[in-house]
Structure formats: structure tokens, C-alpha cells
A and B are shown apart, each in its own frame.
Chain A
Amino acid sequence: MNNTFDIKRFELLMKRQWLEFGKIYVISLGIVAGIIIGFYGLFFFNLIKDRSAGEFISLLYLRGPLFCILGVLFLTIAANTHFSQLGQKPKLIVELMIPASTLEKFLIGLFISIFLPLLSYLLVFFLIDFTFVFVYVSDLKNTYYAQSIENIHIESVKEAVMNTYYPDYFFEKNLPTLFKPLYVIPIFISSLFFLGSVYFTKSQYVKTMISLMVFCGIWITFIVYTTKYLFEDKVKIGSYNLIESNQSAEWLTVVFIALLSIVFWAITYVRLREKEV
């Protein structure tokens, strides 16, 4: 018997987790979908009411913040939930005594806490977004030509939206091009909360959040004062002096953040292995 990893045990563990937590997970995903639908529905309602292209543009501007804020909330809560139950002694005993290796338990945790929420959030958000915006676009198509709205470049808005929301939308469009590290930041933040769920034994979410804030505060202060000490009166600071976006620097940042996420996973694994009742 392989005591480190066995695919059959891994499947059993996955099935067990799904039977116990699947329903709660689907419900929480339903809540997220409800919030997105509610948000879009409100704009759709306003759009039907006054048929204003301004409403449509407001929606286009607010989709980004909605995606980010809701995403961060959902991903961090999901990342912090699975292992946080190990903070309760009775649950911890049951989990540790399940005949599966620590690696298998860790990998299940990683999938349930980081990858599944990320994939399901992207899928839910994009499906709802695609559906609603497609309906908006159809609506705009039928109404804009009949109206004469001043100060709005209807044709350009329509063109941009139509180009964005066709089937290839899911694969190649509307992706951030300016700063590549954005692709790995969700995994990085999730990994941090994943570690927090094992590291702390009580109020894991709040404690992780506070730790993150304290760390960020110290780091920013350190950077500001170090920079000031090293470069004050030596380097010109202004918009003309900014370093231009550099492909290799961005990729290095991506690699660094990805590596840091893996380090967090490794620490989480060690903490899980050393967990005591």
C-alpha cells in the first residue's frame, strides 16, 4: 500500500468532502450568482425604463469593481473555510483519523479551497455577464438607431461591446494586458487565506485579514522610508520618470508571486502534518 498518495483514496476523499460540504458550496455559489444577477438586473431595469446609453456605460464601468470586490470576498472566504474546521477539536480528531495521507488531505484542501472556487467564480461571473450584456447589446441594437442621443458615441460603444461579447470572449478577449501579475494575484491571496485557515485555530478569517493588514502596513512603511533614505535628492520623481512597463520585469513578478504562493502551500502542508489535538 502506498502510504503517501493513492488515487483511489484521493477519489474517496473527494467524494467524502463533496457529500459533506457540496451542498453548502453550491448554496454559497448560488448566493454569489444571486448578487451578480441582482446587480445586473438593477441596471437592466433602469435601462428598460429610460433606454439611456449612459446607464449602459455605467454598467460597463462598474463590472470591473464588482468582479474584483465580490471575487476577493468569495475566494478568501472559500480559501479560509475548509481547513478552518480543524480549529475545532472534535472535528480535528475525526479529520486526522480518516485513513488518508496528509498529502492527500492537503491536495483535497488545495483543490476545494483555491482552484474550485476560482474556476467556479470565473465561470459563474462570465456566464451571467455574457448573458446580460448580450441581452443589453440586442436591446441597444434595436433602440439606438431610433433615438438621437447627444454626447454619446453610440457606434463606438456598440462596436466595442459587440466585439467583446462574442463566443471568443471566453478565450481571448477582455483580459488585462497592462499588468500580467494580475493573473496570479487571486491565487496568491487565496493561498494566504488558505495558510491562515491552518495556522490559526480560532477566528481564522479575521486573524488572517489583520495579519495581512499589519504586514502590508509594515512593508509599505519600510519601502517608503528605505526609498526615501536611498534616493532622496538623488532621483527625480514624476510621471515622466516612471519606468515603462517591461515584459521581462512583469514576468519575473508573475514568477515571484507564483513561487510565494507555492511557499505558502508548503507551509500549509507542514502545519497540517504537524497539527495536534
Chain B
Amino acid sequence: MITIENLNFGYSKRPMLFRDMNMQLNCGHIYGLFGENGAGKSTLLKNIVGLVYAQSGTLNVMGFDPKKRQPALLQDICFIPEEFELPSVYIDNYLKSTAPFYPKFDYQRFKLLISEFNIPSDQRLNEISYGQKKKFIIAFGLSTQARLVIMDEPTNGLDIPSKTQFRKIMASALTEDRCIIISTHQVRDLDNLIDTVIMLNENSIALNASVEEITQKLCFKRVKELDETVIYSEPSISGYQAIFSNSNEQESKLDIELLFNALLNESGKLKQIFN
């Protein structure tokens, strides 16, 4: 669905953000995109949807070049940005003015999502709270039935029940012909939701692996003492949270936060395992 080849990108007067980046993203997956502040998560998403232009390299999204911003591609993309602004109109008017741009728009699903998220319909969109605005654009975006769903920090501003609803809705939104990419700092919000982890570090993709592959190759455990097989560890209340090489094919639950810290501190060891 998305092919990135030798992508080089940098904002003017600043060092390059991506150097010779290569990546392939396929349908039927929910990708979690992680990285430090300034690593380029939002910028990568903006490159994919054509909001910024790369210096060189090729980007192919569903057979289109995103920088051309062709309607045929845009109507198949649902992009939920971190920063957004809604107009001073009621939901009905917004629906009347914007939904017809999306030929596959599902009005029934939109109604259902709006009621699940408890979004008030008697207020103008610019007057509702930030969290409600966020829920509104998520509901609208998912109702467009776009094949590519990209979300930048979607859980920012959501209360705890809404985060649970969000996870439930996103899990049900995945279909075989759909690709979902979620970028966030709130790694716990994506627990049990994503099936592939993408981590950005040092101008490129440091890790692009499925949860299955990660837990096959690595074992996440809480231990009292460390031995020489440990790849990375962090002290915790009753010992250590640690990542080991999974030579014994033990089953464990992926700890994204621990993996991310391991990647920052022990990138060499992890690269050896995953390449």
C-alpha cells in the first residue's frame, strides 16, 4: 500500500531528518509509529499524505504520488492530525458540506460513532471541548471508509473511557484492505491494538517488525537478578524489567516502552537480532 524508497527529507535551514529511508507498509495491519521528540514521526506521516515534499526519493501511496494531492488519493486517506481546527458549524452542516467529497462515506456508521463517543450535536464544532473535537474527527475520518487511516497522537485529550472506546473502535475498524498507522507518545494507549511496531531513530527506521516477530525474538520479563543474556534492563520496584534474547521460545507480552528505551540505548544489539 505504501512504498518509500531512498527518501531524503529535511526542513529548510535544518539538518536532514530522514536519510535514504526505505519502508514498505501493507494492508490489513495497524502500525504503531514511535520515536523521540523531533525524530520525525509527524513529518513522516505528512510525507505519506503529501503535506510536505521530500528533497529526493520516491513515495508511492496506493499507486499515487502523494505530493500531487490528487482527489482520487485524498478521498481514500483519513488523516487525523495532532493540531486541527474545526469550523463554526453544526455537525449536520459539516456533514452536508464535507461528507459528499468521500464517495464511500458511511452515514450510519458516523451516527453510531457519534453516539458512542457522546458528542453533542446541539453545539457548534468550534465550541465543543478539545477531546470532543478529537473524537468528532476520528468518527468522521473512520466513516469516510478510507483505505489508509493515519493518526497523529489520536489519544491526546481523550479521557480514560474515551481511550478505551478508541481502542475498541480502532480494533473494529481494521479490515483486510485497510492500513492504519498510529503515531503516539502514549504507548500504553496502543497496548493490544497495534500488530506492527515502527521505531524512528537517527534519521531512519530503526525497527519495523510485527509484534509476533518481536515476541518471537525477544522475551520481556520482570526478574530479580540479571544475567549475561540480558539485552536491556531497567530497575523496577521488585527487581528489573528486562529484555532477553528469546532463545527458549518463551511467551511474553510486548512492552513497547521498554523496547523503545532499549532501542535508544542498545540499538546495536537489537539491529543484530532483527537484521
Contacts and interface: CB of A to CB of B under 8 A. Distances in A.
A159 interface: no
B53 A99 contact: no
Question: Which of A16, A89, A99 lies at the interface centre, i.e. has the most chain B CB atoms within 10 A of its CB?
Answer: A99
Interface stretch (A53-61, A90-98, A124-132, A144-152): A90-98
Range of interface residues on A (Cβ < 8 Å): 20 to 34
A16 to B, nearest CB: 4
A8 to B, nearest CB: 9
B51 A101 contact: no
B188 interface: no
Interface string A55-99: 000000000000000000000000000000000111101101111
Interface residues of B, number: 29
Nearest to A19: B97
B98 A16 contact: yes
Contacts of A277: 46, 51-52
Contacts, number: 70
A88 B97 CA distance: 21
Given A3-B70, A97-B74, A99-B102, A90 B79 contact: no
Question: Which of A89, A93, A101 lies at the interface centre, i.e. has the most chain B CB atoms within 10 A of its CB?
Answer: A93
B69 A94 contact: no
B55 to A, nearest CB: 12
A154 to B, nearest CB: 53
Interface of A: 1, 3, 6, 9, 12, 15-16, 19-20, 88-91, 93-94, 96-102, 273-274, 276-277
6 contacts: A3-B72, A90-B81, A93-B81, A98-B74, A99-B75, A100-B74
Given A89-B83, A276-B53, 18 more contacts: A9-B71, A15-B97, A16-B97, A19-B89, A19-B96, A90-B81, A90-B83, A91-B85, A94-B84, A97-B49, A97-B51, A97-B77, A98-B74, A98-B101, A99-B101, A101-B69, A101-B70, A277-B52
